[in-house]
Amino acid sequence: MTRNDKELGTARQVIALMESLGDEAQVRHLMRFFKTGEGDYGEGDRFLGIKVPVTRRVVARCKALPLGEVENLLASPWHEVRLCGLLVLVAQFEAQNKKKLKDDENAIAQRDIIVEFYLSHARCANNWDLVDLSVYKIVGEWLMSPSHYSGKEKLATLDRLAASDNLWEQRMSMVCTLGPLRHGDPQFTLRYAELHLHHSHDLMHKAVGWMLREMGKRVSLDVLREFLHHHAQEMPRTALRYAIELMDADERKLWMKR
């Protein structure tokens, strides 16, 4: 694909291109990596064998897809096609969230529409990479941007995700907090790390630890230490290990002993 490649205007065109880009040699590796075996969290998922940078080049050719066409991408059985649809939504949200458009009424309305659409199709993001590559750039940035939703309504939206019976929606509620962290705001990370502290799934332990680590990196290690002071003894060890990763070796040892 080159910069002169033709714009893609329908989901059918996008899917046909992506099917032509598939690499059978990659498929088995991806199926193992994303745990698609019986009883695993990605059971039954199907792959074309396309690496993320290649998918991003496809996205660059279809960023103007109407939401109805994006919906067809999200309904695809192919993992990479669903990722393409999610990354199109990221691109469309970012186009409406540029500094000069932050307070523009039409841009505000468009951002809200994209978030509503994304959340209404949240279960199409049914693996950790699909969540992690999209949610903080859409929902996370929306939390920090002017909106027709109040702060209370935004929080209620995240609370619904956190209380869902779906692992991927639960992960969304945690990983989206990277958006506010990039703006120096730890309140959402603290809230959802505490809510998910005793989650049963390893993927949530990793998500909680990852966001806590990012909080220490982007906001303050002291804020992280305060959280750990109250919760380290009850945290799953995976979450704790992730959270303290950027501390020096001696401090890491002290927290792990607790």
Q: What is the pLDDT of residues 9-20, one digit of tens each?
A: 999 999 999 999
31 or 211, higher pLDDT: 211
pLDDT at 183 > cutoff 50: yes
**3-class secondary-structure state, position 50:** coil
Q: What's the pLDDT at 102?
A: 96
For the purposes of burial, counting CB atoms within 10 Å of the CB of 142, is it exposed (0-12), middle (13-18) or buried (19 or more)? buried
In the chain, % of residues over pLDDT 70: 98
Mean pLDDT, to the nearest integer, of 102-106?
A: 98
pLDDT digits 0-9 by tens, 68-84: 999 999 999 999 999 99
d(CA 114, CA 118): 6
Q: Give residue 53's Cα distance to chain centre.
A: 17
d(CA 105, CA 34): 40
**82-100 burial by CB neighbour count: b if 16+ within 10 A, else e?**
bbbbbbbbbbbbeebbeee
41 or 170, higher pLDDT: 170
Give which of 109, 80, 81, 107 is closest to 94, Cα–Cα.
107
pLDDT at 255 > cutoff 60: yes
Q: What's the pLDDT at 38?
A: 87
Q: Which helix (H) or strand (E) holds 116?
A: helix 105-120
- Token couple for 214: 């990012």
Q: What's the pLDDT at 5?
A: 81
pLDDT at 208 > cutoff 80: yes
pLDDT at 4 > cutoff 70: no
pLDDT at 3 > cutoff 50: no
DSSP-derived secondary structure letter, 101: G
Q: Which residue has the tokens 């945290």?
A: 235
For the purposes of burial, counting CB atoms within 10 Å of the CB of 197, is it exposed (0-12), middle (13-18) or buried (19 or more)? middle
What mean pLDDT value characterizes the chain?
A: 96
d(CA 248, CA 49): 39
78 neighbors 48 (Cβ within 8 angstroms): yes
CA dist list (Å): 142 to 137, 182, 201: 8, 12, 27
